[in-house]
Structures are given as C-alpha cells and as structure tokens.
Amino acid sequence: MAVLLRTLVVQVFFIPSSSMEPTLAVDDRIIVEKVTYRFREPARGDVVVFRGAARADRPADDDGPVAGLLRDLGLLVGVVRPDPSDLVKRLVGLPGDEVAIVDGLLRINGVALGEPYLTGPVAADFGPVVVPEGTLFFLGDNRRNSSDSRGGLGFVDRDRVIGRAVAVVWPVRNAASLLGQRPQPLPQTSNVG
C-alpha cells in the first residue's frame, strides 16, 4: 500500500537547501501530490518537484524487498530523505514562452509579472530565451541563491516531473498551503503627456 501511495498518489519531500526561500525553508517537509498532472499540464506558478538530470537515467536501487519497503514507508511520511537529485522549483515558463528577467522583473512573452511570493533582492537580468516544446522553465524563489533553469539546470523535460507541491506540513510553525501563488501581470504604465 505504501509503495502504491508513494508511487501514484502522494509523497512527503524534505527541503535540503535555501533555493526556494522564503516559500520553503531548509528542513521543511512538503506534501507532493502526483495525480493532478495526469489530467492537466503543470501551470505557471506551481511549485513542482522533478527528477534532476543526475537521476533521470539511473536505474532504481535494489536493496531487497524488506529494505525497499522500509524506505518506501519512510519516504511516504517524510522521515527518509528522497533522492538528492530530486529538485523543487517554481514553474515560470511553459513550452513556447519567451522568458526574461529585466530590471528584476520576470517577463513572459514581453509581459512583466508581479510575483507576490518573492521578498528578497531581485535577480540579475537574464534572457530572453524561448522554452522548447516538451520542456519547462523553472526558477527558485530565492533568485540570488538558486541553481535553476537560468544556469546548469537548463530546460527540464516534461517527463521528469514528479508532482505538484501542495502544502508545507512540517515543522508546524511553517505549515502553509502552496496553492494559488501565481505570478500576475503588472499594470502597464503609459507615458501619455
């Protein structure tokens, strides 16, 4: 049952780095559901867990049935750390989108977006780049300290997506929903004189 739940429905993930601060803190545990993306594509603004490149082609470990069952149970409840190559980032670019950061503002297809989940210093200018078909573009919320699609991570194949992060569940003081945090178009200003 634990194997089926973890594989098909839900899993708890451990946050090992500060790349998603302030949304996710080091040592947070998040619930990741794996059902939604079977029925729809990931949406801009979703916090997504996906397999890193180091794990994408590696075969599964075979430690025997008892060790495997204990690991699956531990992964399900978040007491065993998932594969360190699993990553969590915010989805900002969909296939065909032009992504840029200009003057600290994320721009998708030329439209500046407000990102209410960001609180720290803005990132350096980036792009523009066009997201290829079958891939996604991810950024960490801690833009000055995140290895994401701007650098070595690059575009992420859609088939590497594990699921959508829906809530922080541990520690209790950090408990919060991760749903509904979407970038929104900023009002355009005109220079009519």
Point out the residues that are catalytic. 19, 89
Report the phi/psi class of residue 104: left, alpha or beta, with left for phi > 0 and alpha for psi in -120 to 50.
left
Question: Are 139 and 149 contacting, i.e. CB atoms less than 8 angstroms apart?
Answer: yes
Helix (H, G, I), strand (E, B) or coil at 32: strand
The letter for the amino acid at 105 is L
The count of C-alpha atoms lying within 13 angstroms of the C-alpha of 89, restricted to the half-sphere facing its C-beta, is: 27
CA distance 51 to 61: 15
- Match 């049952």 to its residue by tokens: 1
Answer left, alpha or beta for residue 96, where phi above 0 means left and psi between -120 and 50 means alpha: left
* Cis check: omega of the bond before 121, within 30 degrees of 0: no
Task: Using DSSP bridges, classify how beta strands 135-139 and 126-130 pair: parallel, antiparallel or unpaired.
Answer: unpaired
Please choose, from the candidates 68, 72, 62, 75, the residue with its C-alpha nearest in 3D space to the C-alpha of residue 32.
75
